[in-house]
Structure 1
């Protein structure tokens, strides 16, 4: 079979009835299917198929499973395991927007979060919105960043995703429109090989209200994906990019497996693959990893 449809549900919640519904939906529009391969009992299954394009299979299965907490990803069967991972940080590898949480230390979280929301949904220029938000933090003691870090939590599945891909030879990079203070800590905690982000400028123990130029934004994320792929001597088809905001969209669309993760509407609508229900472990199942292969963390 040329393609694989992967279904993932919360642990213990994926039934054979759900699998059969997806299979029947594909058959109804002309697909032929193979023997299901369970990657994790009652959690993740691969359904080989042919006779349809991946986007057709994806749409048919999603329609059949509407209302169920099941993630659906259809891909070509060849080259599923990627050799480069590029991941956004905020609301992807960590559960929060660190700039919004930092603004909470200044008592202006709601004001800054409103701008963040618009920027992440593509309504505002990312670079301009970042400068505006950082300017509102002028004079904030740098200790506020440490307090924000103490309250930052990893996204479920983050460590397993990176550890498993590393164990199988992939290069893993954290590429964020956020700040080095946080990306450095997240990269070390999760196990990324490297991190790329922006730098908040400070003077005499307080934020200056400025960010170092040039700003790492949407174009820079795509450029980083292409540069790291070239350094690894691989094509973009061998890469995985994941993120949730509009500044992630170019790299998501360019990667061989580009995933909109619990993403803003503009990103979810434009990405070829999306995760709406599960955690980051879904990205491993989408690559054909079995739960028994996940690296211990």
Structure 2
């Protein structure tokens, strides 16, 4: 079993990454405005995340798999992310990402950013195109909190030595479960509930907070 000194878990979209990946995919379907409005409502906590995700993914039906190469090329890592992951590793920590986004993007991007483990949703595929459905259980707020606790247990890390970083309402349970919950690039409700708020959109600002 790998043993770590501490664990840092980040959300992906608008935290690890500058973009909401589902909106980049929606561009390929010509439905970005519709999906963007639903994403913002979900992040503010106005709509149940799982219900919102299913409706947004339905709007992606028919997008061909080859579009993901274009989507991944457009994804922008957040400023300071590699500095943060390097600092975590230098101090004996582990970096995890748990996302309401998609493995189809994270599997390609996360390793190069220094992420050690990640969990996300999977998109259904039929005949080389998106089916408009989510495969398996949806990674929602409770799944995010559960992932943080499970990873901490696997790594032999006390929950008090975990840090959770997120921006949206579906990150609140994860942030509450962690020893330190940090609101980053966050919606007002998330800033109000967090232990700490980071204003500049630069993840290296988290480094002084590492154990």
TM-score, with length taken from structure 1: 0.68
Cα distance in 2 between the residues matched to 1:86 and 1:121? 20
1:147 to 62, 65, 70: 70
Cα distance in 1 between the residues matched to 2:195 and 2:91? 24
Contact kept? 1:137, 1:209, Cα under 8 Å: yes
Gapped runs of 5+ residues in structure 2? none
* Greater RCO, CA 8 A, separation 6+: 2
Gapped runs of 5+ residues in structure 1? 1-81, 289-297
Find runs of 4+ consecutive structure 1 residues off by over 6 angstroms.
none
The alpha-carbon deviation at position 237 of structure 1 amounts to 1.0
Q: What is the DSSP-based 3-state SS (H/G/I as helix, E as strand, rest coil) of the residue aligned with 2:110?
A: helix
Contact kept? 2:88, 2:210, Cα under 8 Å: no
Alpha carbon RMSD of aligned pairs, Å?
1.2
Provide the residue aligned with 2:136 in structure 1. Answer: 213
Larger Rg: 1
The alpha-carbon deviation at position 257 of structure 1 amounts to 1.6
The alpha-carbon deviation at position 234 of structure 1 amounts to 2.2
Offset from partner CA, 1:124-167 (integer Å, 9 cap, x none): 00011000000111111112222111011110000111111012
Cα distance in 2 between the residues matched to 1:174 and 1:180? 11
Cα distance in 1 between the residues matched to 2:109 and 2:174? 20
Provide the residue aligned with 2:47 in structure 1. Answer: 124
Cα distance in 2 between the residues matched to 1:145 and 1:187? 15
Cα distance in 1 between the residues matched to 2:117 and 2:153? 16
Provide the residue aligned with 1:198 in structure 2. Answer: 121
Cα distance in 1 between the residues matched to 2:67 and 2:197? 34
Q: Does 1:159 align with 2:93?
A: no
The alpha-carbon deviation at position 278 of structure 1 amounts to 4.4
Q: How does 1:128-277 map to 2 (within 5 A)?
A: 128-277=51-200
The alpha-carbon deviation at position 201 of structure 1 amounts to 0.9
> Which structure's residues are more often helix, by fraction?
2
Contact kept? 2:78, 2:201, Cα under 8 Å: no
Q: What is the DSSP-based 3-state SS (H/G/I as helix, E as strand, rest coil) of the residue aligned with 1:96?
A: coil
TM-score, with length taken from structure 2: 0.95
